[in-house]
A and B are shown apart, each in its own frame.
Chain A
Amino acid sequence: MEPLSWFEIITRVLWQFIPVWIALIAVFVVSIRYKRRLGLYGKLFDSTIGMIGFALVMFWVFTGIFGAMDLIVTHDALSQVSGMKNEPPGTPLMRAEDGQYPYYLFGGDNLARDVFSRMIKGAWVVVQIAPLATIFAFMVGITLGLPAGFYGGRLDTFLSFLANLILAFPVILLFYLLVTPEIVATGIPNYMAVVLFIFPIVFIAVLLNSRYRTQPRIRTPLLIGVLGILGWLYLSLISESGSKVSVIPDFLDLFNVPGGILVVFVSVVFVNSPTVFRIVRGLALDIKTRDYVAAAQTRGEGAWYIMLWEILPNARGPLIVDLCLRIGYTTILLGTLGFFGLGLPPESPDWGTTINDGRRLLQIYLHPALVPALSLLSMVLGLNLLADGLREETLRD
């Protein structure tokens, strides 16, 4: 068989992405149709920049999801096909079996795996981890930033000092420390996870308690239920038999998070939460002078109710914008981590790791590194445009 021409490659790639196109069009049609009723999200569709950003981001989100459902991929992301090592894009398989896709659309990497399929699978890893890790960082930043801004005084001085201290810490060094076997053996990453992952639980508990404080009949069962489930998830998350933190027996342990991912989470939270802290603190300082906060105080609301229900919702605009930007940074950070061989396992198809793999032969074979690099670029660009669009729209009206 002949290798595919560029035109054919592009047509075939576009064809592979059919489910994504359908999903994208559906989302856009519905959203534009009802944009006046959709609040801030709806307003996004008034800004061209925002729409482009949103389309890019959603493209990768859908790619990730459908890829995980094995819809778009053409080959298994891990299996090697003999003779395909470092072949250029559009190369046909030597001996295509029945039902096997006859081409490597974006060529093969140095282990003879399909670059196209690895890109798709990599999207899933990125789309899962980056937002989740960023949201964790936000919860930590918010739980500390609100009281710092609201109470001020010594608490604020102390927490701000801590935030600055962390910001001054060389990040790469931190990553290396976190994955050094000796350090892992001492259990430090596990202990850090124990501390960091408690914040979301505290956050949700306080949120619910302050809201339903006046109605004990609803509050108590609700809190017990929610905290029970969260607590279990938390214990499953941090506990790993064999490591330093092994607090619950295996049959209760719902899932084990690979050590690498835990490190990724810890580092993302560590790097991002001080900045989030500062943003939240600033917003809280501003919003606490509003009359509705005074009104809440004069009816005797607790401090946490005021922070979480009166201040936080009104700080959402800048926070959502920042969240988008920060997911972008985290995506790059994941890439950086992967590039250093940190975090995710070496065979992981995530973009950072693949770029790193392709780097060594970059001068001879460009494509194995270029494809994930462009993917990373377009996704981060999309997130930035989305943030810009949101910012523009929150400033209006």
Chain B
Amino acid sequence: MTDSYDGPILEIESLSISFFTRLRDIPAVMDFSVKVMPGEAVGLVGESGCGKSTVALGVMRDLGKNGHIVGGSIKFKGQDLGAMSQDQLRSIRGSEIAMIYQEPMASLNPAMKVGKQLMEVPMIHRGSSEKEAHARALQVVKDVKLPDPKRILDAYPHQLSGGQQQRIVIAMALMAEPSLLILDEPTTALDVTVEASVVDLVKELGKKYGTSMLFISHNLGLVLETCDRICVMYSGEAVERGSITDVFDEMKHPYTQALFRSIPLPGADKNARPLRAIPGNFPLPHERPPGCNFGPRCDYFEAGRCDATEIPMTDVPGQDRHATRCLRFQEIDWHAPLGTDVQTTRSEPGDVVLKMDNLKKYYEVAANALFGKRGDTKVVKANETLSFEARESETLAIVGESGCGKSTFAKVLMGLETATDGQILLDNRNIESTSIQDRATQTIADVQMVFQNPFDTLNPSMGVGRQIIRALEVFGIGNSEGERRQRMLELLDLVKLPREFAERMPRQLSGGQKQRVGIARAFAGNARIVVADEPVSALDVSVQAAVTDLLMEIQREQKTTLLFISHDLSIVRYLSDRVLVMYLGHVVELGTTEQVFAPPYHPYTEALLSAVPIADTRVQKRHIVLEGDIPSAMDPPSGCPFQTRCRWKSRVPGHLCEQEVPPMRQMENGHQIKCHLSDRELAEMEPVIQIAAE
């Protein structure tokens, strides 16, 4: 390879890729073009199934046996990859192009030590000696900022946390010093604060090594933070392409606009800037409409024009390499204000329905898996002194990263586990030690749950209608099969699904539709408290808005208390009345949404806010990167749970943070913070997110 090459690193020209299956051909990617210049990072965004991964796999020539490139060309440093032999491809794949997948373990060999896996890369591709390879491995492990590189090299992948594994995968990709790095949703499996640090790392390394990047993501905020240019895909086509600022601030395609309108932005709440879901559904590859693919969902659709011919990519005049696939982009008034939807009145919280008082849940785990019964067991403190109240028709958000005890809390509340200590009062009745078998039907029907993973929430072998009817049966609603059927149909209406869906099987539904059925099931017994465990995090952005709105609408009508578990602070800010921040089983901050999102913060909340990627170029964030990973609940740090990662720790005199668990401090108006910092210090905190004046 010529190192003096200075044209585009990757040049994809009207690429089309189809999968040939038994039933039909699936044109997954059509007429897709993109250019990646040296040192440039290009983001590829779009909804699930729009063909992002297929493009990446096409570049890697790894489409499986039924995928074929049916048109166009992929040039890497000016050479056509399609014209290369298998051998040439292999050597390029290993050393010039590297790919990082969503699931870190997919790229690591579980039976081989990390160091050995890293060293193999230069030894195979360059024939380096073992010593050189080792030195290089040590160097990259330092580069990806892993603590104690020597120990890491000597560890097996499963001994590392998810964030560390992903760093190793990145290190492995860097070992070969590739010119192009393809990242397919590299952080989706990670927690927000860990994600923030990995993204940071990727950005920094890109600069340091001058690597070009193709960054695939469904998260616009993340792309804004990492990339120079962006390419928006819809249903197999690129619909808009341009620099980040052009596309974010002067978008020229209705789909891009609709995407931005469907995600909550900071500084906007449900009344100021309501979310606008994109109507309709994503077309399946074989059911694409004639003409513009986005036509059926587009607000600006013009019959006879938009559906007449294939729409070409057109350059936007006067801007740098900004192109859009819309016929009407010059006619549309892009700054027209959003048509105001039905104004929703905020419902006032009523009486206290649920009260948690000093709730504790400890698990005993055998320290030694084989001979556990004898003696030494370890105690995992999954929930420590959880206290809060929730009122009727109030939305209380519970925020925290994986392992902070959110799910344990939900289990105790639902009665799947019983509390170790403390009280849960439902309408002033104690339920903390009544397990679900002993609860009255009414109590069970009152507290219900919406689950996270839409693909898992419905029994795949049972019809949709049947599953809802079963919930009605169990909750003792309706006297006959006919009455229950009627009620089930009404529930489908409630979640805005067509009644025909009653006869469908879950696999015939999209993720968003399944989640709606899950919501209908939860509300079957007129639930008064609904725990929603990350109900939209696994859904596409355009669907998220619709499901969130639905949940809130039902809540308003039925005066439900909604406990909304999430790690996505944008959506929390958008919909919740009060927020509770958890870390390692402790509540570290509790207050109204305004209180929590404005200083003074708990140091963890501050970091969490800074970690959330925000898809708005006007927003300025203070940059706070947390070191290290979340400690294991098996082995929590002494004193303050957050002390291992806290940047404020040094302000507290006398190592107090390492010795004593801080008390819950009452700030003004019921705002609570669990921290040793002095009032003065807290008062000095600056806001993390600021919107630049226009």
Contact = CB atoms under 8 A, between A and B. Distances in A.
Interface of A: 46, 214-215, 290-292, 294-301, 309-310, 313-314, 316
Contact of A300 (B439, B451, B458, B462): B439
A314 B451 contact: no
A142 to B, nearest CB: 15
B453 A291 contact: yes
Given A291-B451, A295-B451, A295-B521, A300 B444 contact: yes
10 contacts: A291-B457, A292-B456, A294-B451, A295-B449, A298-B436, A298-B448, A299-B525, A300-B444, A314-B459, A314-B461
A313 B476 contact: no
Contacts of B444: 298-300
B414 interface: yes
Contact of A295 (B437, B457, B525): B457
A214 B473 contact: yes
B476 A214 contact: yes
A313 B461 contact: yes
B501 interface: no
**9 A-B pairs with least C-beta separation:** A313-B461, A291-B456, A291-B451, A214-B473, A300-B444, A292-B459, A291-B457, A298-B414, A290-B456
Size bracket, chain B contacts: 20 to 34
B388 interface: no
A300 B460 contact: no
A46 B23 CA distance: 10
B449 A298 contact: yes
Interface string B432-443: 000011010100
Interface in B511-531: 518, 521, 525
B189 interface: no
A296 B473 CA distance: 12
Interface in B445-502: 445, 447-449, 451-453, 456-462, 471, 473-476
Nearest to B450: A295
B189 to A, nearest CB: 17
Contacts of A298: 414-416, 436, 444, 447-449
A316 B457 contact: no
Interface of B: 22, 414-416, 436-437, 439, 441, 444-445, 447-449, 451-453, 456-462, 471, 473-476, 518, 521, 525
A309 B462 CA distance: 9
Nearest to B451: A291
Given A300-B439, A313-B462, A316-B461, A291 B476 contact: no
A295 B518 contact: yes
Q: Name the residue in A215, A299, A301, A316 with the highest tally of chain B Cβ atoms < 10 Å from its Cβ.
A: A299
Contacts of A291: 451-453, 456-457
Contacts of B460: 292, 314
Given A313-B459, A314-B461, A300 B474 contact: yes
A301 B441 CA distance: 11
Given A298-B447, A300-B444, 8 more contacts: A290-B456, A295-B521, A298-B416, A298-B444, A298-B449, A309-B462, A314-B461, A316-B461
A292 B441 contact: no
A209 to B, nearest CB: 14
A301 B470 CA distance: 10
Contacts of B453: 291
B534 to A, nearest CB: 11
B449 A292 contact: no
B122 to A, nearest CB: 37
Given A214-B473, A215-B473, A299 B457 contact: no
A267 to B, nearest CB: 33
B84 to A, nearest CB: 31
Contacts of A295: 449, 451, 457, 518, 521
A214 B448 contact: no
A301 to B, nearest CB: 7
A290 B451 CA distance: 10
A230 to B, nearest CB: 25
B392 to A, nearest CB: 21
Contacts of A294: 416, 449, 451
Contacts of B521: 295
Contacts of A299: 444-445, 448, 471, 474-475, 525
Contacts of B441: 300
Contacts of A214: 473-474, 476
B474 A301 contact: yes
Nearest to B456: A291
A215 B477 CA distance: 11
A314 B461 CA distance: 6
A298 B437 CA distance: 10
A157 to B, nearest CB: 11
Nearest to B473: A214
A56 to B, nearest CB: 23
Nearest to B452: A291
A314 B455 CA distance: 13
Contacts of A310: 459
A291 B518 CA distance: 10
Contacts of B439: 300
A300 B436 contact: yes
Contact of A292 (B445, B447, B458, B473): B458
B451 to A, nearest CB: 4
A48 to B, nearest CB: 12
A220 to B, nearest CB: 16
Nearest to A36: B23
A297 B441 CA distance: 13
Nearest to B437: A300
A131 to B, nearest CB: 23
A216 B64 CA distance: 54
Nearest to B449: A298
Q: Name the residue in B449, B461, B476 with the highest tally of chain A Cβ atoms < 10 Å from its Cβ.
A: B461
A297 B416 contact: yes
